C-alpha cells in the first residue's frame, strides 16, 4: 500500500561514523567513553603517547564495562590506515605536523586544542598549512570545549539572538579551588597564599591567548569585530588565616584573583571574559565571590542575567567536570564530518545538539 501524499517520510537512520580517540588523559578518557557508548559512532582506534597504555583495550582506559576489542597504539599510521571519519584530537600540546597529517589523510578532526577557534587570529603560516591539508584530504577541523567554547561561543550566541542593541556581554567563570589538593599549581603557579603583587605578564598573556580567539569569534558573530584584546589581573587577600586542601592561606596573602580579558571594538569594550578563581569566601574584596560555575550578563535592549552553577559538592568535581569539555566535542563529530573542508567554527556549523542512545 502506498503512503498517502500527506504522510511524513520515514526518518532515515543516521550514518554510523568511525571515530578514533587521540590521547586518553582526563578529558580524553571521558571522550573515549562517549564514543564507545554513542549510538551513531563506532570506535576505530585509540592513540596514546604513553607506552604504559599502548596495547590496552579502550574499555580499560575509559572505565567502560565491556571490552571493545580496540587496543591503544602509539603508531599514527595504524590510526590512519583505514581512514576513520574523525579523530578526537586531545593531546596536552597541539602538534601541527600531526594535525596536518591526519587532515591530509582524509580524516576530520574535532579538538579541544584552542588553536582553531578563530582562523583570523592564527599564525598565517600555520593557518595556510592546515587549510592546505584540509583541501588535500577534503576534511575539516573544529576547536570546541567548555571554556573556551560552550560558554564563550555557543551560549552567548543564543543570548545575543534576542538583542538588537548590545552594549556589553560579560562572561564570568567562578572556580572555588578550596578542595583542590594541588599545592604546586595553587601556590607555586597561581600564587595563592603568597604576597599580593602585580600579575606576571606571562600569565596574562596565556589567558589572553587562550580566550582572545573565542571572544573575537563571538564579536564577529554579532557584527562587532574586535580591534584589540586586552588582559588585566587583580588579587584579593585573606581576611584571616585558613586551611584549604592544598595547604594554608595566611592572613593578608592572596586568597582570590580575577583576570579580565576584554574585547575592544572602536574604543569600547563589547565582550569580556572574567576568570574569578578563589579559595573560598574568606577574601577581602568588593567583587562577588560565587560558587563554581558561570554567570553571564548581557547589557542591551533585552538585558539578561544568567547563572549556571555546577550542582554538586566540590569533592565530586573530578567525577563530573571532564564531561563539560569532552561531551561537546563528541557531540560535534557528526557536524564537523558533514562540514565543507577547512577550519570550521561555530559560525560555520549548525547548533550542536546531542544524539542520546537508550539508557
Task: Give 163-187 pLDDT, tens digit per residue.
Answer: 999 999 999 999 999 999 999 999 9
Residue 269, classified by CB atoms within 10 Å of its CB into exposed (0-12), middle (13-18) or buried (19+), is middle
Which pairs from 317-323 meet CB under 8 Å and 24+ separation? 317/179, 317/180, 317/292, 322/26, 322/27, 322/29, 322/30, 323/30
Task: Measure the CA–CA gap between 204 and 202, rounded to whole angstroms.
Answer: 6
Residue 180, classified by CB atoms within 10 Å of its CB into exposed (0-12), middle (13-18) or buried (19+), is middle
Domains and CATH numbers, the chain: 17-145+321-343 (3.40.50.720), 163-301 (no CATH)
Query: Do 174 and 294 touch, CB atoms closer than 8 A?
Result: yes
Task: Give 14-59 pLDDT, tens digit per residue.
Answer: 679 999 999 999 999 999 999 999 999 999 999 999 999 999 999 9
Closest CA to 151 of 294, 354, 321, 318: 294
Task: Give 289-306 pLDDT, tens digit per residue.
Answer: 899 999 999 999 999 999
Cis-peptide, bond into residue 148, ω within 30° of zero: yes
pTM comes to: 0.92
How far is the CA of 270 from the CAs of 228, 261, 293, 305, in angstroms? 11, 11, 22, 16
The angle formed by the CA atoms of residues 54, 58 and 62, to the nearest 5 degrees, is 110
Task: Give 62-120 pLDDT, tens digit per residue.
Answer: 999 999 999 999 999 999 999 999 999 999 999 999 999 999 999 999 999 999 999 99
Average pLDDT, the chain: 93
Strands 166-176 and 268-278: parallel
Which of residues 328 and 289 earns the better pLDDT score? Answer: 328
Amino acid at each position: 500500500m502506498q503512503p498517502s501524499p500527506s504522510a511524513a517520510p520515514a526518518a532515515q537512520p543516521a550514518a554510523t561514523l568511525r571515530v578514533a580517540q587521540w590521547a586518553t588523559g582526563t578529558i580524553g578518557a571521558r571522550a573515549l567513553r562517549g564514543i564507545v557508548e554513542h549510538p551513531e559512532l563506532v570506535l576505530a582506534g585509540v592513540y596514546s603517547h604513553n607506552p604504559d597504555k599502548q596495547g590496552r583495550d579502550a574499555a580499560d582506559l575509559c572505565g567502560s564495562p565491556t571490552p571493545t576489542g580496540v587496543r591503544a597504539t602509539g603508531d599514527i599510521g595504524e590510526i590512519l590506515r583505514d581512514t576513520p571519519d574523525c579523530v578526537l584530537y586531545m593531546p596536552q600540546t597541539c602538534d601541527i605536523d600531526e594535525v596536518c597529517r591526519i587532515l591530509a589523510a582524509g580524516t576530520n578532526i574535532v579538538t579541544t586544542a584552542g588553536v582553531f577557534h578563530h582562523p583570523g587570529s592564527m599564525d598565517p603560516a600555520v593557518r595556510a598549512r592546515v587549510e592546505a591539508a584540509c583541501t588535500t584530504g577534503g576534511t575539516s577541523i573544529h576547536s570546541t570545549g567548555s571554556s573556551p567554547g560552550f560558554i564563550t561561543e555557543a551560549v552567548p550566541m543564543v543570548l545575543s539572538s534576542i538583542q538588537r542593541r548590545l552594549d556589553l556581554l560579560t562572561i564570568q567563570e567562578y572556580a572555588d579551588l578550596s578542595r583542590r589538593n594541588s599545592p604546586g599549581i595553587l601556590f607555586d603557579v597561581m600564587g595563592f597564599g603568597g604576597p599580593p603583587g602585580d600579575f606576571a605578564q606571562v600569565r596574562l598573556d596565556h589567558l589572553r591567548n587562550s580566550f582572545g580567539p573565542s571572544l573575537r569569534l563571538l564579536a564577529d558573530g554579532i557584527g562587532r569585530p574586535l580591534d584589540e584584546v586586552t588582559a588585566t589581573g587583580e588579587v584579593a587577600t585573606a581576611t584571616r588565616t585558613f586551611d584549604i586542601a592544598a595547604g594554608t592561606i595566611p592572613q593578608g596573602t592572596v586568597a582570590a584573583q580575577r583576570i579580565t580579558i576584554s574585547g575592544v571594538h572602536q574604543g569600547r569594550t563589547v565582550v569580556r571574559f572574567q576568570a574569578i578563581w578563589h579559595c573560598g569566601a574568606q577574601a577581602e574584596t568588593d567583587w562577588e565571590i560565587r560558587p563554581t560555575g558561570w554567570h553571564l550578563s548581557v547589557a542591551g535592549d533585552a538585558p539578561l542575567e544568567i547563572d549556571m552553577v555546577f550542582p554538586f559538592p566540590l569533592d565530586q568535581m573530578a567525577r563530573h567536570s571532564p564531561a563539560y569539555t569532552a561531551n561537546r566535542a563528541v557531540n560535534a563529530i557528526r557536524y564537523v564530518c558533514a562540514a565543507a573542508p577547512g577550519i570550521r567554527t561555530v559560525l560555520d556549523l549548525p547548533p550542536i545538539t546531542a544524539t542520546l542512545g537508550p539508557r
